[in-house]
Amino acid sequence: MNNFNNEGYSIIESLISIFTIDKGKVKVLLFRKKDEPYKGYWMLPGGILKANESLEESISDYVVENCGFSNLYTEQCHVFSDVERIPDKRVVAITCIGLIDSISVELKQEIPDSIESEWFNISAIPKTIYDHGMIIDKSVDCLRERIINSNVLKILFPSDFTLPELQKVYEQILGKELDRRNFRKKFINLGLIEDTGYKNEGYTGRPAKLYRFKENIEERDLF
């Protein structure tokens, strides 16, 4: 079993799907590939895992250096190891999701000029290299599991929000429309959010109550 030989050497790349919410839209950060093959196509940020760093260190160093985010929330998502996922090369991709709020994006984003980057709506992903489209889909699945069962959405909503705004974000991540009354009832019952006492005046339409996520949210356990 512990028979290490050359046959067993693989290249590992760590890739990250960084999500944010920008004006009510769930977006993911992609970089544009600068060289052949697939020059001009879009790709997930990430790099080759070096022998002297863990996955977590690799992602963290990469994200600080190439995106300027020093406080990104990250979690492992899925390993993609199809032998032919990259032609002519054996590269295993270990993928993570990252969450950052839009205010931090504006304040801290320092992507070097040499990298062409863009935030894309998760419903409008452009042409990507290799299996990155599939990896983005899986990352949205991971995000979906997280928002149903824990409080990570709080990271994406650091400031006040209305329930319709929250519902729109859930609808994008879950990929389906939700009943407004049902959503309101279920979400308030979860006890994750509290009424701020304010309303969002000044917009068109009836002012809606503003909510915020509670400071301390316990993980929602079934038992």
127 binds its own copies (CB under 8 A): no
Rg of the chain over CA atoms, in angstroms? 20
Beta bridge partners of 73: 99
48 binds its own copies (CB under 8 A): yes
Alpha-carbon dihedral angle through residues 213, 62, 41, 79, given to the nearest 10 degrees: -80
Would you say 215 or 223 has its CB closer to its own copies? Answer: 223
Q: Site for its own copies (CB under 8 A): which residue of 53, 137, 141, 160? A: 53
Looking only at residues 82 through 111 of this chain, which bind its own copies when binding is defined by CB under 8 A? 82-83, 89-92, 94
Left, alpha or beta for 140 (phi > 0: left; psi -120 to 50: alpha)?
alpha
The H-or-E segment that residue 79 falls in is strand 73-80
Size of the site for its own copies (CB under 8 A): 51
Angle ∠(42,102,136) on CA atoms, nearest 5: 35
Q: Site for its own copies (CB under 8 A): which residue of 22, 106, 116, 145? A: 145
43 binds its own copies (CB under 8 A): yes
Cis omega (within 30 of 0) for bond into 37: yes
Binding track over 155-174 against its own copies, x by CB under 8 A: ---------------x---x
Footprint on this chain of its own copies (rule: CB under 8 A): 1-5, 7-13, 31, 33, 35, 43, 46-56, 76, 78-79, 81-83, 89-92, 94, 145, 148-149, 170, 174, 178, 182-183, 186, 190, 221-223
